Every structure is written in C-alpha cells, then in structure tokens.
Structure 1
Amino acid sequence: MIEAAPAKVNLHLHVTGRRADGYHLLDSLVVFAGVADAVEAMPANRLALTVAGPEAGVLRAEPDNLVLRAARALAAAAGVPAQAMLGLTKRLPVASGIGGGSADAAAALRALNALWRLGWDEAQLREVALPLGADVPACVASRSCRMGGIGETLSAAPRIPTCGVVLANPRMALATPSVFKARRGGFSTPARLPGAWADAAAMARDLAGLRNDLEEPAIGLCPAIAEVLAALRALPGCLLARMSGSGATCFAVFARPDEAADAAGRLPESWWRWGGGLHGAGAAGV
C-alpha cells in the first residue's frame, strides 16, 4: 500500500484565540500542493520504519517518527497488532510549515487502514489523527478545506480555481512551539470568504486582505524568511506571496501551474524550492 503525503499550504492563518489548556484556536484556508512525501506499508510480523529520500536527513536517526506513532495509535484504536513494515520517502523539508510530518502520519493512517483491512472512514481516521498533531486531521483527506478550532474543526473550502503554486524554504527548520511563544498582540477574527473564485487573480486579491498571524514572529526568529518572501514577490507573474503555517516555507500563487514551475527555477539553488499545481489538479512541477 503506497499513499502520497502532499504538502499542506495555509493560504491564510488567523490565530483567533487561546484555550485554557494553552492550545491556540486557528482559522485557516488549507490547500495541498502537488509535491509530496510517500508512505509505503507492507505486511510484517513487527512494526518497523525505514526512511529514505532527498530530505531524509536527521529523520534517519529519529527514534520515534510520527509515522510510527500514527501506526501504534491506529492499532490501539482498532484493537489489532501493530505489525507492518513502513517505508517513508521524504521529499518535503522537515519542520518547515507545510505539514510534512503531519502529512506523513496521515498517509500512514490511510495506508494501514487499507493494509489491515479496517474499512474505516475519514471521520474515524480523523479521531485517531488529532492527538498526533493539529494538522493531521486535515491531512487525512489531503484536499482543500477550512480548518478551525485547534485543527479538529474542518469545513468545506471555497472552490479553488486552477492556479500555480511555488514553495520555497531557505533550508532552515523552525519549531512551531517557538513561533507561537514569540507571538505578541491580540487575536484575529475568522476570515470571510466567498463560495468560489473565478480565477487565481480574484483569489489572490481576496487573500491579500488576510494574513498569516505567525509570519511576524517567525521572521523575528528566522530573518531569512523575509528574504524568501521578497524573492517570491519579485518573480514575474506572482499574484500573492505569504508564509505557510509556522514557517519557514513560503508560497507564491500564480495563474497557472506551468508559470509556477518556471518561476521556481529562478530561485536560488541553495534553497528547497518547488513549483507546479495543486494536489490532484495539474500537480506536475519542478
């Protein structure tokens, strides 16, 4: 069983409050890009994980990858032995604000649901997913959605038009808790969005009036993010540039996937960069 784990992109991210237990409440429009990790699950008499790919790096030495935690959580919830040989092909940078680890965990849940023949639906998998991380429930379906609460409240997104997306990361990891801790000021209101956009330009105009509330504290911790944003905004055809999640990956919206693929090639080779379409819709890119 092989499942894609596409990159999650927060087109906007408003921090709307904070619960008594310290968890922040969010409002975000989430889409998924055409670049992805992959998780493979095969029968075995024990639970094990191998990690490979261009971004495997430090994950090879990590003793308890989120993929393994997802496998154990699903096995416990389903009352089955946690037995599978898992393989993670890592193409997305680690700790980069595009949900790489969350997407991997969600892909593992889907792959093991099939391997173990559980027959669980998305709602059941999301219940297992939430304790693993705020982004994991949205990554279970890996389709555009509106994310609220601490990540558990998912609703339909506006119809997303055909568009291109460039992702760029200065190869600097940024821990989400540190970004939230550095955040100052009050809270934002949830965004008001239409039911659909006619094209990418209309979507970018509406999104330009919104923001990512974590962008400023993230730049304070990682000034290179500002350099990435400036480079994205200078690309011909860029309609909107913003940081995704808690950073340090930033994105730019383009009218077409081929424009985004061409634009990504103009960015510094020392960065991690990708350009193309959204997951399941013109996803091929560089």
Structure 2
Amino acid sequence: MEILEKAPAKLNLSLDTPFRHQDGEPEWNMVMTAIDLADYVHIETLDNTSEIIVETDSGFLPDDQRNLAYQAAKTLQQDFNVKQGVRITITKKIPVSAGMGGGSSDAAAVLRGLNQLWQLNLSKEQLALLGLKIDSDVPFCVYSQTALVTGRGEKITPLKSLPALWFVIAKPKASVSTPSIIRQIDYNRIIHQDVDAVCQAILNGDIEKLTANMGNVLEPITSHKYPEILRIKNKMISFGAQAAQMSGSGPTVFGVCTKYSRAQHVYNALRGFCQEVYLVCPFSLH
C-alpha cells in the first residue's frame, strides 16, 4: 500500500504571542497560509517489519528519529499499536531551516497519509492534536489552508481563501534556531500585532487592509542577529511589493503583490541579491 502526499510550505501573515506558559512555551496568536511551494512525501507500508525508513534527496535533513516525518510515523505506530513498518521518501522543494515549516509539513503529510493507509479514521482535529507532540507548526500543516492559529499551535480555525495575490519569497543564507529566538522574546517590550484586523481583511477579501496590518513580533529579534533580513525586506518594498515581512522565526522574507507582472519584477530584481528566490501563489486545496 502506498500514497503520495503534497506537503506545502507555510507563511505567517501575522504572528503574535500574548504570553509565555509556565513551561516556557509561548501562547500563539497567528494567521498562517499555505503556499504552492511544496515537498512531496511518498509513503509505503512495509510488511514483516515495524521499521521506519526515511529517505530524502536533501543532504541537510536527518533520516533518523530526529526527522519530524519519522516522528510522525512513530507517534501513530505507538499510539495505535500498529505493527506495520513504513518507508517515507521525501522530495524536498521547501528550503530547510527557513521559517516555512518544511519539516512540519512533511510530518503532517505522513500523519494524513498513514491515517488513510492504516485506516485509523482520525479527524483533522485529532491529527492536529497528535501533530502538536511533534512540533507546534504540524497542526496547521495538517490543514494546510489559511487559518487562525492559537493555543500552543493546536487550535486551528480555518479562514476564507486569500484573494488573488502572489508571494515573492527570498531565503537568505542564514539558518535560524527557532527555540533560541523564542527564548529571547521580551514580553515587557513586545509590540503586539492586530491579528483580528488581518482575519477581518481576509474575510472581506481586502488586500489593502491585509497588507496594512501584517506583522511578526519575532522579526525584530531575528533581524537584529541577521541584518540581511531587513535589507531584503526593504528591497522588496522598493521594487514594488505592497508589503514584506519575515515568516516564522526566519530568516525567510516574503513580499505580497496583487499583480503578477509586479511580482515578476520583484522576483527578477531580487535574484541579484539572494540565491534562493521563489515566486508562488497561495496553495489551494481544490
């Protein structure tokens, strides 16, 4: 038995954290969207063994229990007492350590795929709760649609699809450790985001209001260490993007354009400054 799952990258249109829980984990208040830049995850069940094998075409990814896709398979095996093994083959397109949820999306793809192959009949809500054991981005990636994300990342409220727009995405060379950025959040100095305004803008299909209210509270922290983030952001704006900001804990920066011709111009202009540049639209489930 086998299945091929598409694992889209994510962007944070709005990222805020109201407070820190006693165990040190942040409470999140975010609007996330999936984009049409995706890994492909081929999942094949193995008889006569309970082994989990992960293969990938990327030299940057671990293929053992440190891999989030491996952890997803292991979680389902253990929680539902499944004796079958599985071979997971990941074709990487999403940049690694980029703040775009690549590893989490691969893990979510494994949860969705094995839910079918092993006939576990779990709902998206149940898969999202399981995903939280692996990483806080996995629950959103189970859904992979524009959504309000709250709690520790497990509360997903799907929103309307985004209006027609394009994202220009640039990944600087830096690799960022999310836990180290989260540890540096100063809740006394944080400037909170108007996440509700972003949700309302999406509901109304209002791109002007969306771009005016986007923001990421982690951006000042990461960009202090990696100033090229702000350089790329400023270049995107000067080349014509309607808004630009860092995604997740960084270092990836994305610009929003309403016209494809404008997005192409920004994309072409940025390629002189940054090796990894992508031009993508929002991911559609249909």
Match of 2:278 among 265, 274, 279: 274
Offset of residue 205 of structure 1 = 2.5
In the superposition, the TM-score normalised over structure 1's length comes to 0.89
Offset of residue 256 of structure 1 = 3.7
Q: Distance in 1 between matches of 2:213 and 2:279?
A: 22
Structure 2 partner of 1:102: 104
Structure 1 partner of 2:235: 231
Q: Distance in 2 between matches of 1:13 and 1:86?
A: 31
- The answer (yes or no) to whether the contact 1:93–1:171 under 8 Å persists in 2 is no
- The answer (yes or no) to whether the contact 1:242–1:252 under 8 Å persists in 2 is yes
In the superposition, the TM-score normalised over structure 2's length comes to 0.89
Map 1:247-286 → 2, pairs under 5 A: 247-257=250-260, 259-268=262-271, 270-280=274-284
Q: Distance in 1 between matches of 2:249 and 2:132?
A: 18
Q: Tell me if 1:191 matches 2:191.
A: no
Structure 2 partner of 1:201: 208
Q: Tell me if 1:33 matches 2:35.
A: yes
Q: Distance in 2 between matches of 1:147 and 1:74?
A: 23
Q: Tell me if 1:240 matches 2:207.
A: no
Structure 2 counterpart SS, 1:154: strand
Aligned length: 275
AA matched with 1:97: G
Q: Distance in 1 between matches of 2:270 and 2:205?
A: 29
Q: Distance in 2 between matches of 1:82 and 1:260?
A: 46
Structure 2 partner of 1:111: 113
Cα deviation per residue 1:129-148 (whole Å; 9 max; x = unaligned)?
01111110010010010011
Offset of residue 69 of structure 1 = 0.6
Deviates more, 1:265-274 or 1:12-21: 265-274
Q: Tell me if 1:215 matches 2:222.
A: no
- The answer (yes or no) to whether the contact 1:257–1:276 under 8 Å persists in 2 is no
Offset of residue 111 of structure 1 = 1.4
Match of 2:165 among 163, 166, 173: 163
Structure 1 unmatched ranges of 5 or more: none
Q: Distance in 2 between matches of 1:25 and 1:190?
A: 15
Deviates more, 1:240-249 or 1:265-274: 265-274
**Alignment CA distance shift 1:185-1:43 (3 Å):** closer
**Alignment CA distance shift 1:112-1:135 (3 Å):** same
Point out 4+ residue stretches in structure 1 off by more than 6 angstroms: none
Q: Percent identity?
A: 28
Structure 2 partner of 1:141: 143
Offset of residue 91 of structure 1 = 1.1
- The answer (yes or no) to whether the contact 1:138–1:154 under 8 Å persists in 2 is yes
Cα deviation per residue 1:66-90 (whole Å; 9 max; x = unaligned)?
1101100011122212511110111
Structure 2 partner of 1:178: 180
Offset of residue 171 of structure 1 = 2.3
Structure 2 partner of 1:123: 125
Q: Distance in 2 between matches of 1:25 and 1:63?
A: 27
AA matched with 1:245: G
**Alignment CA distance shift 1:260-1:108 (3 Å):** farther
Offset of residue 44 of structure 1 = 1.6
- The answer (yes or no) to whether the contact 2:9–2:34 under 8 Å persists in 1 is yes
Deviates more, 1:15-24 or 1:257-266: 257-266
Offset of residue 258 of structure 1 = 5.7
